Structure 1
């Protein structure tokens, strides 16, 4: 079941990234969409907690959840800025390597035992995620120092996010409380970011953000369930394959052509999943 939950998370994150891709092409603010998705998700999770009851929220849960929310939002913002500053062909693959950090922490900090065959599967899945997102370098004006700083900040944000999520499950902290704190803290952070950027607000950003928020609740709920029940060292590379959803959506919805290396990446990703289950 935890593998199935990891797949639900992968599909949810991939769907949201596809929506972000569509919204960027239509001139919508990624910060505003994130704010509305965090705010709507906070209202829904908080309302659910009030209606059905949940465990008392302590200070550690609030701090941990808020930090997770800020790291996720900041990672997305830094990634979008990295695309503006440097080669898109290298940005996604480099940022995708952040999965190495929570995988290593699962073995070092949380003492998960990983077999040689599972290690092969993990490496194949991570390699597939990098290959799928790669695209040939195109001539463009590049600010490498600024680009590298954005890339490193995104890697740090997403990598630490994964470690903290595993920590919360290891400490048996109530997942709903973490989600409430995550969406609430993230909303406050994004509100400040929006004020600083002074971008114009659009009504369509509310609708798109609300949809992303609902999908996000499903994805993160499945994520926490998977981390509570299964091996984080396998869950993280499975989730990192959300790029598969974006690539396939690009092929079916946006009529983009799949490159040969992407097709190979898709099949090698499936092979990696099989290795982790042996």
Structure 2
């Protein structure tokens, strides 16, 4: 079941990335959409906990949850700013390298045993994620602002990588996932509210609608994420979730009429091979 939960998380995160992609092309604020989805998700999770009875909340849960929420929000913001400084075809694969951080931590810190075949599968999946998102650029492109671009990428990698370690830590400490989600969404909403005040962007009605949709998908996705981490092998869960780019690629072909290149087809097939190897 934890494999299924990891796949559901992959689909939810991929769908949200598609919404972010659509919103960017239509002039909507990514910060505003994120703030709305964090706020909606916080209200829903807190209300559910109030009705069903919340488990004991301690300082470790609050601190971990808030940091996870801030890191996730900051990672998305840094990645979007990196797109403004350099080519997306190089930015996305580089940011996806963050998956290596929680995978290695699962083996080194949490002493998870990883077989040779599983290591091969993990490497193939990471390579597939890079291959699927790669798009050759013209050698005459001199628009990259290297230092600002690289600094944004490194901040995004750091944010998403540490986020994965902290999520595994919360499951390792047997912290109730609902408590973590409440603190995560509350801390992230506060962080994004502050960002929104500094950005001073105009609000649009569509941002509320799509923010709500993203919020609902995020709750479902992260609930499955925690379930997969609590019951499965984190070093396999992380690369499966990182393949959310599959959803973006296939969805782009359907919604945005983008053509799937031959190397992307190879990436899809190799991703499936990698997933099979991790289950052996």
TM-score, length of structure 1 as denominator length: 0.99
Matched residue count: 278
Q: How does 1:47-196 map to 2 (within 5 A)?
A: 47-138=47-138, 139-196=141-198
2:206 equivalent among 204, 207, 221: 204
Residue 54 of structure 1 deviates from its aligned partner by: 2.1
Q: Residues 221-263 of structure 1: CA distance to partner in whole angstroms, max 9, x if unpaired?
A: 0000000000000000000000000000000111000111101
Q: Which residue of 1 aligns with 2:279?
A: 277
CA RMSD of aligned residues (A): 0.6
Residue 87 of structure 1 deviates from its aligned partner by: 2.0
1:240 equivalent among 238, 242, 260: 242
Q: CA–CA distance in 2 between the matches of 1:156 and 1:131?
A: 22
Q: Which runs of 5+ in 1 are unaligned?
A: none
Q: Which residue of 2 aligns with 1:32?
A: 32
Q: CA–CA distance in 2 between the matches of 1:52 and 1:134?
A: 46
TM-score, length of structure 2 as denominator length: 0.98
Secondary structure at the aligned position of 1:36 is classed as helix
Q: How does 1:210-221 map to 2 (within 5 A)?
A: 210-221=212-223
Q: Which runs of 5+ in 2 are unaligned?
A: none
Residue 150 of structure 1 deviates from its aligned partner by: 0.1
